[in-house]
Structure 1
Amino acid sequence: MPQSPSQHLPRSVASLLSRLRHQVRRYIVWDSVLAVAMVFLAAFWIAFLVDYLPVRIGGSEMPRSARCVVLIVTIVVALVFLWRYLVSRMNRDLPDDSLALLIERHHPEIGGRLVTAVQLGETPRKGDSYSPTFIQKVRKEAESQVDRVDLDRVFRPEPIRHKLTIVIPLVLAAVVMAIASPQTFGRAVGRLTLFSDSPWPRHAQLEMVGVEVPIISASDEDDGATQLVGFDDGVVRLARGSNASLRIRAAGEEFGHQIPDLCTVSYIDDEGNRGQSNLRRVGRVIDGYQSFVLDGPPLTSLADSVTLSIRGLDDRLTGYRIEAVDPPAIAQMQMQVRYPDYLRVFSNGAEFDQQLDYQAGVRIREGSSLTLTGIASSPLGAVDVVASDAGSGATIGNSPDGHQSDSALSAEIAEDAMSFTLALNDVREATSIRIVPRDADGISAQAAYRYFIGVVRDEAPETTMRLSGIGSSITPIARLPIEATAKDDYGIESMSIAMTVRAQPPENRLAAPAQPGETASEEQSYSVAPELDRQGNTSLTIDLRDLVDESVLNPITPGGTVLLNTLAQDRFNLSGSHVTQGELIRLQIVTPETLLATLERRELEFRSRLEQAIDETRRLRQSLTAIESEATELLAPATTEDSDNSGESDQTNESTGNEVSDSTTSDNANSTDQDTFRARQRIQLRIRQAELQAAKTTDELKGIVAGLDDLLLEMINNRIDSVDRRERLDEGVRSPLSDVVEEPFPNLRRQIVELERILMGSETPDEAATDAIAADVEMRSAVETAVATNDAILLQLSAVLEKMLDLESFNEILDLMRGLIQDQENLLEETEEEQKKRVLDLFK
């Protein structure tokens, strides 16, 4: 506690000490106030400069956190100064003797009288040996010195002066700034006291517009379209691998700002890689703003998250971050196929007929319903789907009735958001499906997933029909043996054989009265639906005579036409039906005599072909004879000459004693070998030609036999009353020819092949003479056997030819008889007409 002056001191001394005590305390207060003011003003200007000056050179302001630190440090330092300069000093005692000593230190002329007077005046004083007279004298001398004391000499003005030299300029600067720019001063105070975060005004003003990213859509109509994504609290999320463009704008003169010539973005990714890119101007100033775009790194093929800072003149945009996230992907696509109803005849009742994973080139049946299940790599928020006709490109969808329409398709996302399903009903055309998955934040895959679903069309059934033993002409009472087939990928629903009988046109008919029972109808129809076996084959016979007898058809007269065709229908029922009409077979209705005449002409053709076969067989015999001659010349004479030449050479060498040169012997041997080789090749070629000739003749005879079979069947099926004729043709011509084809000709071909084997087996150059002779004998024997077989064939074929000539003569006689009968019938008809005419003339 401060000590009051003693009441025993003189009044002047006590007053002096009291005044000094008050001045000391005022000095402490001013010194502490100046110290605290110096702290606050220094902190204000330093923080102001740190916060403002970087802005002038294109930097950014101190963040709020830094300003908060500065403010806290300033307050702490100020409190420390208050404690040190004010509180701690004010709490100290200021005793009178200390004050007196302080005065005497600066006024040595007092000579200790003031301190003595103060100390002797303290009460109570015990043990003092000073006399009262001495004390009284000291007090008077102290009083006499009071007026000479200058208290200003006690205090040191330097600390206050030093603080004022700092505080006064700082205060004046603050006052000047407050007067010159109240907004700047207020913004500085507000920012440093954390009451405001408004940035410092700049020459340029940049504004973040956002990130422009391409719209990835399943529809081709959105190709090239973009969307602007804004920053949310300075953060925007983009798909990894995307190509985006950063857009900012700078305010122009209309807003009192200067448009920078160049804006630069600095970035750093999460791996610490740094970079810098320039933004380019886009267009002109619009509504007072100039746009800038960055469409290069780091936003091209974004690989990692980056933090951006954009600078233009003295303005800066900081705290913007682009986070790269993995876009959703379709990891697997599964297909469930349900066949259309017409294919589910033999279904086991399962909901789906086929389940498989999608793979390129997959195809489904026409009209099937398809359910696609896609499994995603991350949770889904939406799935954009477009299905289009692969041929025309038209967009298709599913209508409420289950058929495809032009409405958009929609995918159903599962509860766990990890999969989706897409249904396509009644798929009849090849379909291209484009799918773009999106996550909950709207980030999509960077390319549409494309799936192509091919369609296996239901083809129309195939049907064929063949008449066995029937030519192009038939009699009115003919039997029509029919062999028909109907095939389809998924089975035949029904098959029918339709027959249409068309009468001869009226202008082509003879002017004769209608016969009893004859109808005026020009066309008659008949159809039958035969049962098919498992392979789709059927055979049946339509008997025209029975159909007429049963009154199914009216009597059929010659001159008309019978048309036959097949109709096959499968189970297809999606859009109409698949009905196939087979090839139309047209048959001309003729009289038995006309048909016989046609068959006789065919017999003449067979005879001509048989004569040609006989000529070829004769030429074959000549070839065999030539083979025998050339083979004998190659094998036997060569062996004999070699032996003779060898004996003569020995005799010559023994008689003359001359030796033949090695070179001459070698040349002769080479020439002989080449001639032998060429001769052997010629014989081999003749043998093969003979074999081909035999095969050709065999095939020709087989064709004649097949033609005769058809001819006989036609006679039977057309009910031509000529049993003897059929028997003679069968037993006299067909059967002998069939025997020749089945036995002699195959033997002849085997014998010709044997000739080649013998020839090729005798070409060893070092074989002995006995082996060569044996080969010659074997060749002669084989050739003779083949010639004998060929002669036997000629005899048999000649016999058949003579039989055909006999039949031809017999047919000529029959033709003459048929001509006489026809002439007689014509004469009778003319006689009846003349008689009717005469009778009618009598009534005229």
Structure 2
Amino acid sequence: MIASSIPLKKEPEAGKHPRSKMHGSTNDYKLSQFLKRIRKRARRWILVEAISLIGLSIAAWFWSTVLLDWLIEPPPVVRLLATGILCLWVSTIVLNRLIRRLRAPLRDEQLALLVERTHPELQDSLSTAVELRLGETQSTLSTIDASLLDRTTSIAAASIKRITMGRLFRRTHLLRKAGLSGFSVGTMAAVLVLLPTVRETWVQRMLLLSDTPWPRQVTLSIAGFPNGVRRVARGADVEILVTAQSTGQLPKFVELQHRGKEGWTTHRMGTRGASEEKTQLFTYIIKKPKEDLAIEVRGGDGRLRDLRLEVVEPPSLATINLQITPPKYIGGEPRPLAATRLVEVPAGSTLSITAESSKPLSRATIRSIPIPSAPQNLTTGTEASDAQTMEKEFLVAQLTTKPPETLSQSISLDKQPRRLSGTLGPVLDDCILDIEFTDTTGITNQKPIRFQLLSRADLPPEIEVTPDGISSVITTSAAIPITGRIQDDHGLAEATVSLRRTTNIAADSTDTELQQTSISLATHSSTVLDLVKEVSPRIESASLPAKVDDELELIVSAKDRCGLAGGPQTSTTEPWRLRVVSPEVLLAMLEAREVILRRRFESLIADFQQKRDRVVTDFTAKEEGSETTTSQLAEATSRANGETSEIAASFRDISDELFNNRLLTAPLEERLLNQIATPLEKIVSGPIEQLRLAVYDSDQPTDANHLIQMADTCIYRMRSVLDKMIELETYNEVIESLRALIEQQQSIRGETSKQQKQRARDLLKGL
């Protein structure tokens, strides 16, 4: 904005206000010239300041563009934007700081006020003189004293000499701006003149917007980016290798930048190996990229731009079909098999594999990798072992096609094969099946397509049997029952129970005496043979025949229907050793066992009675002792429950052993089962069980007196059975006494007969 000068108005005509016209005109002229000088200096100040700002802005923009363009080498769009910003900024300075300020009117009144603001000693004389001189009219002349106005004007004119321009204008501030601007523009001009390479590159890039690279000391090269593009599989780690070469000092680090949807990300690359001949290899691994990335590399002053990492879907397993053909002895009909990570097939089976890829393929393989039986030591022997293992690997199936570039144009990409089939067998050892797909772009499946194939060997039969109702002592007429289970994974061919003699053959024995006897079990080619007690097979000791003092062995064997190279497999149990005794000896042993059980039962009743009496004593002495009473009674009840059940089972075992040795009579069965075992079982399931439930019922606690009464009932029932045991023991003692008397009588008779015969011989000799 250019200010227009407004001259001081002329003095009024004579006769209206008589005053010295010559004196007033001189002072007015001085004031007018003084204000003109201030107005011109203000305009020069505005012009110099605007030019300084423009020069400083251009220099700052130049240095910024040189530095930033050298560092990051932005694309042409960014450089064009930077140039536009400079033009906009300079235009803003010219418009706001120059044109508008120059066009702004600088009136005399404003200038007078500005002078008086910086020079208060004028005491408003200058502004008063200027304002009254400029505002003289017919109406104001009548009210203004001419002498006072002349005096004020004279004072203002006289004070002009004392006004300092440095106080009106900040000369130091303007000189500082001008000097800084001149220095900046001078350095810019010096660079453009003295460094022609920088000048030409800067002009080409910033003004002509070309992609001419800046000359640099460090040269970077990246591997695996033909034409600036590299394709990788989605989900796979990508290793970036950058080689830095320098004419001077190698960079200490190299930065890798990649941009995705979330913006730029910067990583520092690590070195690999030592530097050689001004060359250093840098590496960085991008972890499983999921999107296409724009890549830039920076090291020292070297730059790599316009690199692109394209992420593509790798081929994957779409479907896989497995079909197994078992060996003939199992039932060799082909049948489908579920594809899992762990596939188990019977040994000797044949496996057919059909794998289909999710993408068209250029190459595919199915390999069988054997599983090492044991880890190898890390020695040279390990390398030899690995080589042998690799030799055992073989291709189950392979697919190879021509690359798409060499195919006829009429053949579409969809006609590329996707399926691969192969057959493996017979499977005798464990192995790993590895499937590898390579698509038409050269991308290989990243996730390993592997499953472990286990050869399930044909196991020998499992025999879990035991002689039931028999001990290690038997009689010559014993029938030994066998109970348990015999099973095989693919079916039993036969099962045998054998009884053999282990003692030496007596001198008077004949060759016709058998040393082993066996019975065969009906297997019906089933996989499981259950031998239950009711219909269990029995082998007779008389079939040898067995004699007293013989040592026998009982053996159970089974054979399967395995049709592999090893043939059928046979399993045999450990022999059960049996000793043959007379019936009298066995009865005596069983009677001794009864005595032990009776004493154990007596001890149980005594302990139960003692706990019951202690409970009664505690309850009588302490009314609030219900918790102690319950715990003591619970302990006694639990022991009575368990031991009574065991004693009842022991008496049944005695009965079974007598039965299997053909010694069980009706009286013995009545005594052992109906008078002892069965009553004991009823006591356990009856009063003892009721007492146990009452003691452990925490929801409805029973009165202590009632618990004591229930305990008395249990003790009474147990004592009644004990009395039967004692009676039977007395009966056994009587029988034993009679047996001893009979043996003694037979011995006396034999001795008497011998003496009579001896006397008869003596009488015959005397004759």
Match for residue 680 of structure 2?
741
Match for residue 354 of structure 1?
337
> Does 2:403 correspond to 1:411?
no
Distance 1:622 1:371, change over 3 A: same
Task: Report the Cα distance in structure 1 between the residues aligned to 2:418 and 2:272, rounded to whole angstroms.
Answer: 43
Match for residue 528 of structure 1?
520
Trace 1:243-642 onto structure 2 (pairs within 5 A).
Answer: 243=238, 295=283, 304=292, 324=310, 326=312, 328-341=314-327, 345=331, 349=333, 351-356=334-339, 358=340, 360=341, 363-392=344-373, 405-412=392-399, 416-440=416-440, 442-445=442-445, 448-453=448-453, 458-488=458-488, 490-505=489-504, 513-515=507-509, 517-519=510-512, 523-524=515-516, 526-531=518-523, 535-538=528-531, 539-545=536-542, 547=543, 555-574=545-564, 576-577=566-567, 579=569, 581-592=571-582, 595-621=583-609, 623-624=611-612, 627=615, 633=620
CA offsets 1:612-658 (integer angstroms, 9 cap, x no match): 31343355446546655665x47xxxxxxxxxxxxxxxxxxxxxxxx
SS in 2 for 1:542: strand
Structure 1: state its 5+ residue gaps. Answer: 1-201, 213-228, 251-257, 548-552, 635-674, 764-774, 833-844
Structure 2: state its 5+ residue gaps. Answer: 1-214, 376-384, 402-414, 758-767
Match for residue 719 of structure 2?
794
Query: Which amino acid letter does the alignment assign opposite residue 529 of structure 2?
Result: G
> Does 2:668 correspond to 1:729?
yes
Query: Which amino acid letter does the alignment assign opposite residue 677 of structure 1?
Result: E
Trace 1:775-790 onto structure 2 (pairs within 5 A).
Answer: 779=705, 787=712, 790=715
Task: Give the drift of 1:524.
Answer: 3.5
SS in 1 for 2:555: strand
Query: Which amino acid letter does the alignment assign opposite residue 735 of structure 2?
Result: F
Match for residue 706 of structure 1?
652
Task: Give the drift of 1:821.
Answer: 6.6
Paired positions, count: 509
Task: Report the Cα distance in structure 2 between the residues aligned to 1:759 and 1:273, rounded to whole angstroms.
Answer: 71
Distance 1:753 1:810, change over 3 A: same
Distance 1:739 1:410, change over 3 A: closer
Task: Report the Cα distance in structure 2 between the residues aligned to 1:284 and 1:319, rounded to whole angstroms.
Answer: 24
SS in 2 for 1:353: strand
Trace 1:65-84 onto structure 2 (pairs within 5 A).
Answer: none
Task: Give the drift of 1:600.
Answer: 1.0
The TM-score normalised by the length of structure 1 is: 0.48
Query: Which amino acid letter does the alignment assign opposite residue 530 of structure 1?
Result: A
Task: Report the Cα distance in structure 2 between the residues aligned to 1:382 and 1:302, rounded to whole angstroms.
Answer: 25
Task: Report the Cα distance in structure 2 between the residues aligned to 1:740 and 1:391, rounded to whole angstroms.
Answer: 64
Task: Report the Cα distance in structure 2 between the residues aligned to 1:816 and 1:629, rounded to whole angstroms.
Answer: 51
CA offsets 1:326-367 (integer angstroms, 9 cap, x no match): 26321435241415225853x7x5x433244x4x45555555
> Does 2:729 correspond to 1:804?
yes
8 Å Cα contact 2:590-2:654 kept in structure 1: no
Distance 1:578 1:389, change over 3 A: farther
CA offsets 1:90-116 (integer angstroms, 9 cap, x no match): xxxxxxxxxxxxxxxxxxxxxxxxxxx
SS in 1 for 2:623: helix
Task: Report the Cα distance in structure 1 between the residues aligned to 2:460 and 2:616, rounded to whole angstroms.
Answer: 62
SS in 2 for 1:605: helix
8 Å Cα contact 1:369-1:423 kept in structure 2: yes
SS in 2 for 1:701: helix
SS in 2 for 1:676: coil
Which of 605, 629, 645 is 1:683 aligned to?
Answer: 629
Query: Which amino acid letter does the alignment assign opposite residue 336 of structure 2?
Result: D
Trace 1:161-172 onto structure 2 (pairs within 5 A).
Answer: none
Query: Which amino acid letter does the alignment assign opposite residue 475 of structure 1?
Result: T
SS in 1 for 2:417: coil
Task: Give the drift of 1:737.
Answer: 0.7
Task: Report the Cα distance in structure 2 between the residues aligned to 1:587 and 1:410, rounded to whole angstroms.
Answer: 58
Distance 1:318 1:474, change over 3 A: closer
The TM-score normalised by the length of structure 2 is: 0.52
Task: Report the Cα distance in structure 2 between the residues aligned to 1:305 and 1:292, rounded to whole angstroms.
Answer: 25
Task: Give the drift of 1:610.
Answer: 1.0
Task: Give the drift of 1:282.
Answer: 8.6
SS in 2 for 1:381: strand
8 Å Cα contact 1:331-1:374 kept in structure 2: yes
Query: Which amino acid letter does the alignment assign opposite residue 394 of structure 2?
Result: S
Task: Report the Cα distance in structure 2 between the residues aligned to 1:691 and 1:805, rounded to whole angstroms.
Answer: 30
Task: Give the drift of 1:396.
Answer: 12
Match for residue 239 of structure 1?
232
Task: Give the drift of 1:462.
Answer: 1.6
8 Å Cα contact 2:240-2:286 kept in structure 1: no
RMSD: 5.7
Task: Give the drift of 1:481.
Answer: 2.4
SS in 1 for 2:661: helix
Query: Which amino acid letter does the alignment assign opposite residue 487 of structure 1?
Result: Q
Task: Report the Cα distance in structure 1 between the residues aligned to 2:517 and 2:633, rounded to whole angstroms.
Answer: 60
Distance 1:501 1:274, change over 3 A: closer
Task: Report the Cα distance in structure 2 between the residues aligned to 1:476 and 1:499, rounded to whole angstroms.
Answer: 16
8 Å Cα contact 1:395-1:406 kept in structure 2: no
Distance 1:569 1:413, change over 3 A: farther
8 Å Cα contact 1:247-1:291 kept in structure 2: no
Q: Which has the larger radius of gyration?
A: 1
> Does 2:638 correspond to 1:692?
yes
